[in-house]
Structure 1
Amino acid sequence: MFYSSPEQTHVKRPVILADGFSIGPSEPALLWEGLENGQYPFISSLRENGFDVILLGFDERSASILDNANVAMECIRRAIADREGPAMLTVGGFSMGGLVTRYALAKMESQMEDHETSTYLSYDTPHRGAWLPISVQAFAHFVKDHWGSTPGLGPLLSRFSTMVNSNAARQLLRWHVETADGAADVPVDVSAGQDQARTDFLKALERVGGWPQRPRLLGVANGTGTGAGNNIPAGVPAVVSSGPQLGGTHLDTQNKGQQTVAQLHKAGADPVPVRTSNLPDIDGAPGGLFPKAPLLDNAANFGMAAMLAGLIDQEPAELTYNASTFVPTVSAVASAGIEDRNTLYSKVDRESSDLHDFACATANEGHTVMTTELGQWILAKLLEA
């Protein structure tokens, strides 16, 4: 845990905010930078209004949500022990961090342990599941399988696949692809199922009550609540390679119904088709967009696939769409599942939400981006308590 002021050892009005999903340990300096020096100075705004911010990081962000929830529970206990006065806690997190703290608070209640928390807060958290294009997942594994031992490049070419197959990713993603080990006559085929790790996590969450019962439940979404999508069309090429190693490979945006969503081709071998069925056209749905990686030329999900293809072919792949929806709005506000196309693209039904109150962005924006609109809404809600 990292206090918002380096010299701070005690807190009066603690606000614990947990880090989200990635590979490797949390990077407090980058987390701070995004919250304080972006569009809205969130940390300063909270501190100026009497709150003490505690940023909760993890040794491994891709570890099981259940394991990192134990870290969150210890952070809550320490904040209570370090607190001066009787003020109740605010506890929550960004993206996966919202699920980590949701489970932690609910588990503490199930154990009859007082978490002394009056407000739970989630920031673009995938309560009903996250989305990573099936074509991108399969391509990440295809690259690792065939080029993951390339001298000098192997770790970079394997990293995306490792991330996709991590414990946390399996728990977060509504649809998950473990391997691209298919053939021309035995395609990689994905339907409406989900990884067993996600099924097990949802059962574990249900065993502790699903949600903490004592706090007020607040949330924000980086996607619109009006049903307005991000204008990414369904069933069109997003990445196409014509290079010497991957020529003929293409990754398409997701369409509804049956679809060959990708064709994976290594020179000298038969192409491997990737097929889907019973999925919605979700890439263009309202929601927080897959985050860009500033150190990798702002590549997002499709952009990351194009970057990997360019490294292998030593020439750029054609990239039509860089990012797609990562956390649909209905997932972030816990109002509906993300399997139903009509629900995805409809105005959010407030009465269906598991949250007591929530705010949606005016326009679809980057996942977990701290904006003035959402930051001010959170501050106003915390000041109401």
Structure 2
Amino acid sequence: MAPRIDVSTSLGAAGAEPDAARRADLAAAVSRDVLFATRPGSPGHRAAATTWDLVGEHASGEAAVHYADGRTHLEKPLLFADGFNYGRSDLPALFEHFNTPYQDGTPGLFDQLLARGYDIVLIGFEERHTRIQHNAEVATKAIERAIDERLGDARLTVGGVSMGGIVTRYALAKLEDEGFDHQTDTYLSWDSPHNGAWIPLILQQMAYFFETLAPGEPGKPSQADLIRSEAAQQLLWAWVPDAKYAGEVATASPLRTEFVDELAGLRNFPRRPRLLGLANGRGDGVGRPLPAGGIAFDWKAAFNTASATARFQPDLGSKQPIGGMHILGELRRSTTTEVPALDGVPGGTLESFGLVADALKAEIGEEFRSGAFVPSVSASALKYDPVAWDVDPEENLLDRDPDDFHLGEVVFDTENTGHSAVSPVLANWLLDRL
């Protein structure tokens, strides 16, 4: 049976309808911020030497160019694309994230690359949440500009973090399909969801459900806008379109099906560069100790006018409870069938449960805040069906033959670290390869 979700709804179970004052109190208790968007990083302090406007047919963006130490021109470009989030890229913060020292006495990763003669070109997008093919136009413009402005004939290094690795993967593969010489020697992806990402289904439902209580301000995004975005539909292996949806969840959006098929038509990956992959998750099959089916948080609003219970995803089975919520007299309970327990598998983590609990001002244990966002089997581009997910996400990947991966070389972190985090293991491995 295909993985699916079911929702049961009952009315009047919550008691009397709250008056206007209690409605207002309840609305004030729920955050209006976009859920699952990673928190802004540290403000960037390194000014780019120059910037490029990048305008494609369907999307636009900007590149921030940092020349190598002692250089005032582009000579050895390393193009690195921003990842999955809502709204416009913050390239100074992206630079700061990857240049924060990861161990005492060692410069940041980008400082080390600049010292080695790499010119860092950060690729940002006006709308990180739009579809991948559109932002790939922006990445393509950056590649073409780098080739045009580069002095000498040094080959390019092209890649990105999170969704940025998928955007550049698609861009390079499409350029090859069109017969364009992208002059790229190395492709790299940093915790990119090559086979799909995971956000718990119960939390996706809550994002939709509670934005009816605290809708976003006019002209500003609301809680579920990142989940309903085109990028999320393409990246998430399991997705629901609204809080009441019942049906199949694996590759539920046609946008993901179309994107997976389109990548397959482009032979999945570029063929000319060497392919490097970095995974924030462990490779030995050891995940986080999150109890499958156990309660992550249980929240009740004042006067019992609303409540929400979120459970960690149970492991497969039929009609397994994942939680529920009630608001203004309506009670919903959700179950899943044949959905694997992905919250605790090895992978780069996201504070998914913590972010929703914080939005509701619910108490949650520190050990329960984070779960897998990009499973290691996905970040490493292990060869398996990205739709059926016929794979054991807790497999020891260190025992796999290198030919079992689409990427030529892969490194895993020694702990399941935060999605896109820079650790000594990952940074030093990349520096060795470059």
TM bucket by the smaller chain? Answer: 0.7 to 0.9
* Partner residue, 1:208: 266
Aligned-partner residue type, residue 22 of structure 1: N
Aligned partner of 1:57 among 113, 120, 124: 124
Cα gap change, 1:49 to 1:246, in 2 (>3 Å)? farther
* Partner residue, 2:381: 334
* Partner residue, 1:164: 227
Aligned partner of 2:337 among 245, 255, 277: 277
Tell me by how many angstroms 1:340 deviates: 5.7
Q: How far apart are the structure 1 equivalents of 2:125 and 2:305?
A: 37
Q: How far apart are the structure 1 equivalents of 2:306 and 2:210?
A: 13
* Partner residue, 1:308: 359
SS at match of 2:261: helix
* Partner residue, 1:294: none
Aligned partner of 2:174 among 88, 107, 131: 107
* Partner residue, 2:309: 250
SS at match of 2:377: helix
User: Structure 2 matches for 1:137-176, cutoff 5 A?
Assistant: 137-148=204-215, 159-176=222-239
Q: Which consecutive unaligned segments of at least 5 residues does structure 2 have?
A: 1-62
User: Structure 2 matches for 1:167-246, cutoff 5 A?
Assistant: 167-181=230-244, 188-244=246-302
Q: How far apart are the structure 2 equivalents of 1:275 and 1:227?
A: 27
Structure with the bigger percentage of helix: 1
Tell me by how many angstroms 1:319 deviates: 5.0
Q: Does 1:97 align with 2:164?
A: yes
Question: TM-score normalised to the size of structure 1?
Answer: 0.88
**Number of aligned positions between the proteins:** 358
SS at match of 1:377: helix
Tell me by how many angstroms 1:336 deviates: 4.4
Alpha-carbon deviations, 1:102-144, whole Å to 9, x = none?
0000000111000000110000000000000001100000011
Tell me by how many angstroms 1:208 deviates: 2.0
Given that residues 125 and 327 in structure 1 are in contact (C-alpha distance below 8 angstroms), is that contact kept between their aligned partners in structure 2? Answer: yes
Given that residues 82 and 161 in structure 2 are in contact (C-alpha distance below 8 angstroms), is that contact kept between their aligned partners in structure 1? Answer: yes
Q: How far apart are the structure 2 equivalents of 1:317 and 1:340?
A: 33
Q: How far apart are the structure 1 equivalents of 2:219 and 2:383?
A: 38
Given that residues 17 and 56 in structure 1 are in contact (C-alpha distance below 8 angstroms), is that contact kept between their aligned partners in structure 2? Answer: yes
Q: Does 1:325 align with 2:376?
A: no
* Partner residue, 2:89: 26
Moved over 3 A (4+): 5-9, 188-193, 245-248, 316-320, 336-342
SS at match of 1:57: strand
Q: Which consecutive unaligned segments of at least 5 residues does structure 1 have?
A: 183-187, 291-299, 311-315
Cα gap change, 1:8 to 1:171, in 2 (>3 Å)? farther
Higher relative contact order (CA 8 A, sep 6+): 2
Q: How far apart are the structure 1 equivalents of 2:140 and 2:295?
A: 45
Structure showing greater Rg: 2
Given that residues 282 and 341 in structure 1 are in contact (C-alpha distance below 8 angstroms), is that contact kept between their aligned partners in structure 2? Answer: no
* Partner residue, 1:297: none
Given that residues 80 and 161 in structure 2 are in contact (C-alpha distance below 8 angstroms), is that contact kept between their aligned partners in structure 1? Answer: yes
Identical positions, percent: 35
Q: How far apart are the structure 2 equivalents of 1:106 and 1:286?
A: 28
* Partner residue, 1:75: 142
Tell me by how many angstroms 1:146 deviates: 3.3
* Partner residue, 1:296: none
Alpha-carbon deviations, 1:275-317, whole Å to 9, x = none?
2111111100000001xxxxxxxxx21112112222xxxxx44
Q: How far apart are the structure 2 equivalents of 1:107 and 1:340?
A: 25
SS at match of 2:213: helix
Alpha-carbon deviations, 1:21-53, whole Å to 9, x = none?
101110011101101124161111111111111
SS at match of 2:110: helix
Q: How far apart are the structure 2 equivalents of 1:192 and 1:128?
A: 12
Tell me by how many angstroms 1:248 deviates: 4.0
SS at match of 1:147: coil
SS at match of 2:225: helix
Q: Does 1:2 align with 2:64?
A: yes
Cα gap change, 1:191 to 1:176, in 2 (>3 Å)? closer
RMSD: 2.1
Q: Does 1:265 align with 2:332?
A: no
Given that residues 240 and 249 in structure 2 are in contact (C-alpha distance below 8 angstroms), is that contact kept between their aligned partners in structure 1? Answer: no
Aligned-partner residue type, residue 375 of structure 2: P
Given that residues 306 and 325 in structure 2 are in contact (C-alpha distance below 8 angstroms), is that contact kept between their aligned partners in structure 1? Answer: no
Q: How far apart are the structure 2 equivalents of 1:117 and 1:173?
A: 28
Given that residues 15 and 90 in structure 1 are in contact (C-alpha distance below 8 angstroms), is that contact kept between their aligned partners in structure 2? Answer: yes
Farther-moved stretch of structure 1 (130-139 vs 235-244):
235-244
Farther-moved stretch of structure 1 (336-345 vs 40-49):
336-345
Farther-moved stretch of structure 1 (6-15 vs 225-234):
6-15
Q: How far apart are the structure 2 equivalents of 1:336 and 1:191?
A: 21
Q: How far apart are the structure 2 equivalents of 1:319 and 1:268?
A: 28
Farther-moved stretch of structure 1 (211-220 vs 272-281):
272-281
Structure with the bigger percentage of strand: 2
Aligned-partner residue type, residue 282 of structure 1: L
Q: How far apart are the structure 1 equivalents of 2:300 and 2:184?
A: 55
